[in-house]
C-alpha cells in the first residue's frame, strides 16, 4: 500500500495525500478528511526508506556502547531513550563488547546515511577514531571521555575520586590502598588514579606502590587485586575505582578473616543499585548515569537541528554517599 493507492482510493493526487500526511501546504478540509479516512481504513503507514531517501533524514541516532549489559551503560542508554523518544527519534544500538575494532567498524557503518547523529561511549579514543570521525560529517557526542573538538559529557571523575580519598584521610587513614584499572581507560584508569595520588600527596602521605593493584572492572578482579595487596601488608583502608571492584575487595578481605569496616575501610565509585544494600553498605560517590544519557541526547539533538559546530564540554557532578563501609581510625 503506497501513497498512490491512497490517492486513488481517496480520489485525489499523491501530492495531496503527502500534504495531508505531513500537514504541509493547503488542503481543503473536505479532502483532508477523505484522505485520513482512507489511511485509517487501510491501515497505511508510509515507507520510511523512501521518506528518508528523499529527505536525507532518518530520525534515527546511532549509539555505540562498550557493553550493554552493565549497569552503568544501560542506565545511560535509558537516559538517551527518554530524550530521543521526546524528539521522535529511534535508537540504533551498537554493542562493541569492549573491542576497539568493533567501535571503529560501527563508526564506519553509521557513516552511511542511516543515522542523523551518533552518541559514543568510547573507552579509548584512538587516532583512527578521530580520523573516521573527521570525514563523517555527522554530529557526534562523546560520553565518558573528553575528546577535543567534540562535545562530550563526562563525570567529574577527578573530584569524585579525590573526595573518596579525602574522606578516608579525614577519617584518620594513612595506609590507603588503591584498587584500579588500566590507565588505557582515561576516565576510570588514569584520572581516578591521579586523584588518589594527589589527595595523598597533598596530605603529605607517601605513595606506597605495594598498596596499589590493578584489575579489569570485574568484581573478581577486585578480589584478586585486594589479595595481592594483602599479601604485601595490611592497609587500614582501600579505595576502589568502581563499586564492583569494591565488592570484590570486601569479599577478599572477609575471606582473609578480616572485617569491613572494623579492620579495613572500603570505598567505591559509582553507586550502583546494590551498593546501598550491600552488607556493609558501601561508601561511594554516586554518579548520575541517566542524567548523562539525557544530556548527551539533548546535546546531540541540538547539534542535529542547528547544524552548528558549537561543541561543548559538560561535566556532571556526583554525590558523596557516606555509608557503613568506612570507619574512623581511633587515636591510639
Q: Tell me if 36 contacts DNA by CB under 7 A.
A: no
Is the CB of 166 or the CB of 284 nearer to a second copy?
284
The correct pick among 40, 54, 88, 209 for binding DNA (CB under 7 A) is: 54
What would the 3-class secondary structure string for the chain be? CCHHHHHHHHCCCHHHHHHHHHCCCCCCHHHHHHHHHHHHHHCCCCCHHHHHHHHCCCCEEEEEECCCCCHHHHHHHHHHHHHHHHCCCEEEEEECCCCHHHHHHHHHHCCCCCCCEEEECCCCCCHHHHHHHHCCCCCEEEECCCCCCCEEEEECHHHHHHHHHHHHHHCCCCCEEEEEECCCCHHHHHHHHHHHHHHHHHCCCCCCHHHEEEECCCHHHHHHHHHHHHHHCCCCEEEECCHHHHHHHHHHHHHCCCCCCCCCEEECCECCCCCCCCCCCCEEEEECHHHHHHHHHHHHHHHHHHCCCCCCEEEECEEEECCCCCCCCCCC
Contacted by 261, from a second copy, DNA, none: CB < 5 to 8 Å by type = none
Q: Residue 256 Cβ, how far from a second copy at the closest point, in Å?
A: 15
Q: Residue 87 Cβ, how far from DNA at the closest point, in Å?
A: 18
The correct pick among 12, 64, 75, 301 for binding a second copy (CB under 8 A) is: 75
Q: Residue 130 Cβ, how far from DNA at the closest point, in Å?
A: 25
* Total of residues contacting a second copy (CB under 8 A): 47
Q: Residue 292 Cβ, how far from a second copy at the closest point, in Å?
A: 13
Distance CA 303, CA 216 (A): 34
Backbone dihedral angles phi then psi of residue 267, each to the nearest 5 degrees: -130, 155
Is the CB of 13 or the CB of 311 nearer to DNA?
13
Q: Tell me if 134 contacts a second copy by CB under 8 A.
A: no
Q: Residue 70 Cβ, how far from a second copy at the closest point, in Å?
A: 8
Q: Tell me if 324 contacts a second copy by CB under 8 A.
A: no
Using the structure block, give the residue that is written with the C-alpha cell 521526546: 86
Is the distance from CB of 67 to CB of 37 less than 8 angstroms?
no
The correct pick among 74, 210, 302, 324 for binding a second copy (CB under 8 A) is: 74
The correct pick among 122, 161, 219, 297 for binding a second copy (CB under 8 A) is: 219
Least Cα distance to 115 among 84, 143, 86, 72 occurs for: 84
Q: Tell me if 24 contacts DNA by CB under 7 A.
A: yes
Is the CB of 15 or the CB of 322 nearer to DNA?
15
Is the CB of 162 or the CB of 271 nearer to a second copy?
271
Q: Residue 45 Cβ, how far from DNA at the closest point, in Å?
A: 7
Q: Tell me if 50 contacts DNA by CB under 7 A.
A: yes
Q: Tell me if 55 contacts DNA by CB under 7 A.
A: yes
Chain residues binding a second copy by CB under 8 A are 43, 45-50, 52-53, 58, 60, 67-71, 73-75, 77-78, 81-82, 85, 90-95, 108-109, 111-114, 135, 219, 247-248, 251, 273-274, 277-279, 290
Chain residues binding DNA by CB under 7 A are 2-4, 11-16, 18-19, 21-22, 24-32, 44, 46-47, 50-51, 53-56
Amino acid at each position: 500500500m503506497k501513497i498512490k493507492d491512497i490517492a486513488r482510493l481517496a480520489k485525489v493526487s499523491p501530492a495531496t495525500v503527502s500534504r495531508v500526511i505531513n500537514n504541509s501546504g493547503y488542503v481543503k478540509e473536505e479532502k483532508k478528511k477523505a484522505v485520513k479516512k482512507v489511511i485509517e481504513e487501510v491501515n497505511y503507514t508510509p515507507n520510511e526508506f523512501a521518506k528518508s531517501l528523499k529527505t536525507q533524514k532518518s530520525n534515527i541516532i546511532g549509539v555505540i556502547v562498550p557493553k550493554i549489559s552493565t549497569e552503568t551503560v544501560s542506565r545511560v542508554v535509558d537516559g538517551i531513550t527518554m530524550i530521543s523518544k521526546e524528539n521522535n527519534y529511534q535508537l540504533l544500538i551498537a554493542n562493541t563488547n569492549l573491542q576497539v575494532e568493533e567501535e571503529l567498524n560501527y563508526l564506519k557503518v553509521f557513516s552511511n546515511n542511516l543515522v542523523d547523529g551518533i552518541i559514543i561511549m568510547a573507552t579509548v579514543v584512538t587516532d583512527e577514531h578521530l580520523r573516521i570521525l573527521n570525514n563523517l560529517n555527522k554530529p557526534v557526542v562523546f560520553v565518558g571521555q573528553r575528546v577535543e573538538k567534540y562535545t562530550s559529557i563526562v563525570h567529574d571523575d577527578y573530584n569524585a575520586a579525590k573526595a573518596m580519598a579525602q574522606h578516608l584521610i579525614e577519617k584518620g587513614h594513612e595506609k590507603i590502598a588503591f584498587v584500579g584499572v588500566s590507565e588505557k581507560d582515561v576516565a576510570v584508569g588514569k584520572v581516578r588514579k591521579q586523584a588518589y595520588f594527589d589527595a595523598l600527596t597533598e596530605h603529605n602521605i607517601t605513595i606506597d606502590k605495594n598498596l596499589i593493584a590493578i584489575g579489569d572492572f570485574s568484581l573478581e578482579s577486585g578480589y584478586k587485586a585486594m589479595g595481592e595487596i594483602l599479601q604485601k601488608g595490611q592497609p587500614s583502608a582501600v579505595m576502589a575505582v568502581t563499586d564492583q571492584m569494591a565488592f570484590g575487595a570486601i569479599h577478599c578481605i572477609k575471606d582473609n578473616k578480616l572485617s569491613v569496616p572494623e579492620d579495613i575501610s572500603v570505598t567505591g565509585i559509582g553507586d550502583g543499585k546494590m551498593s546501598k544494600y550491600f552488607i556493609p553498605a558501601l561508601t561511594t560517590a554516586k554518579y548520575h548515569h541517566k542524567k548523562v544519557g539525557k544530556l548527551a541526547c539533548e546535546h546531540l539533538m541540538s547539534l542535529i537541528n542547528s547544524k552548528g559546530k558549537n561543541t561543548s564540554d559538560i561535566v556532571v557532578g556526583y554525590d558523596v554517599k557516606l555509608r557503613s563501609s568506612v570507619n574512623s581510625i581511633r587515636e591510639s
